[in-house]
């Protein structure tokens, strides 16, 4: 992977119906906030969201040559962000498991196996306990239900766009959303 400075002038025609030539720098500037906020919804930690954001753009820049010109760039970046976030969480879950296992053995050090920080600095009203509880419950939903809630209600995307991102029908998105709401009601 070339450094960002070398990629700055790399161009590519993208965008489904809105075909245009973009530079890597423009893609980053246009989508960095969207990617960071979406990653933050998944990992609930600013440092982790920053790491995911970096990973997303490394992947975007690396795979830009293979991007289909007839596809929508925003949808593609959403999909990469969701996948990177889920992969990151799986990796983090493995670390948590290894921490628990290490507690049973006295051979590993505390620093090596500290639990990750789960504060959610992305929520402006962090002190609002009910909002924190709701976000914790959303975080515990199955991944497809969590994704639907985040994209529809937190990112405020239209159902059609959520269906494209998740590669589902609009009916399946609606069904997942209803199941997610029912699951949240049971948890609360």
Judgement on whether residues 53 and 70 belong to the same structural domain of the protein: yes
Q: Does residue 2 lie within any of the structural domains?
A: no
Judgement on whether residues 21 and 35 belong to the same structural domain of the protein: yes
- Summarised one tens digit per residue, pLDDT across range 26-55 is 899 999 999 999 999 988 889 999 999 999
Long-range interactions of 169-174: CB distance < 8 A, separation 24+: 173/148
Q: Does residue 83 lie within any of the structural domains?
A: yes
Among 69, 73, 63, smallest CA distance to 27 is for 73
Q: At a CB cut-off of 8 Å and minimum separation 6, what does 121 contact?
A: 45, 46
User: Tell me, what CATH number does 69's domain have?
Assistant: 1.10.1740.10
152: containing domain:
123-188
Name the domain boundary from 82, 104, 122. Answer: 122
Contact status, residue 75 vs residue 47, Cβ threshold 8 Å: no
Judgement on whether residues 59 and 78 belong to the same structural domain of the protein: yes
- Summarised one tens digit per residue, pLDDT across range 150-171 is 888 888 889 999 999 999 999 9
The residue behind tokens 């293979």 is: 66
């Amino acid at each position: 992977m070339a450094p960002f400075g070398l990629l700055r002038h790399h161009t590519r025609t993208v965008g489904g119906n809105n075909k245009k030539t973009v530079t890597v720098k423009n893609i980053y500037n246009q989508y960095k906030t969207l990617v960071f906020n979406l990653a933050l919804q998944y990992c609930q930690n600013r440092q982790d969201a920053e790491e995911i954001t970096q990973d997303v753009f490394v992947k975007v820049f690396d795979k830009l040559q293979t991007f289909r010109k007839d596809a929508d760039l925003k949808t593609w970046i959403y999909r990469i962000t969701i996948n990177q976030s889920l992969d990151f969480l799986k990796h983090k879950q493995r670390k948590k498991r290894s921490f628990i296992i290490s507690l049973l053995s006295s051979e590993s050090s505390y620093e090596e196996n500290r639990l990750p920080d789960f504060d959610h600095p992305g929520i402006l009203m962090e002190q609002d306990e009910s909002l924190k509880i709701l976000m914790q419950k959303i975080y515990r939903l199955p991944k497809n239900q969590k994704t639907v809630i985040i994209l529809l209600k937190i990112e405020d995307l239209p159902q059609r766009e959520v269906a494209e991102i998740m590669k589902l029908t609009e009916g399946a998105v609606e069904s997942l959303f209803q199941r997610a709401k029912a699951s949240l009601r049971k948890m609360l």
